[in-house]
Amino acid sequence: MNMPKNIGEMDRNVRFGAGIAVILFGLIDHNLIGLVGLVLIGTAYLRTCPAYTLVNMDTNKK
């Protein structure tokens, strides 16, 4: 399955930062909210967001 690259560089950096922050919050607070951080880091790494695809959004500069 070929997913389109629809996450730009700034969006990617924000997702990495937010993902790390959410994971740390989950670890400190001992809850499962940290799993959301894993999703953010995963979408940043893959440079594709299924939600962006659904709403036809693209922050990647061509």
The neighbour count for residue 18, using CB atoms within 10 Å, is 15
Average pLDDT of the chain is: 94
Residues whose CB is less than 8 angstroms from the CB of residue 49 and which lie 6 or more positions away in sequence, other chains included: 6, 7, 43
Enumerate residue ranges in the chain where pLDDT < 70.
none
Q: Count CA within 13 A, CB hemisphere, residue 24.
A: 6
Residues whose CB is less than 8 angstroms from the CB of residue 27 and which lie 6 or more positions away in sequence, other chains included: 34
Question: Residue 4 has what pLDDT?
Answer: 87
What sign does the dihedral 49-51-53-59 (CA atoms) show?
Answer: negative
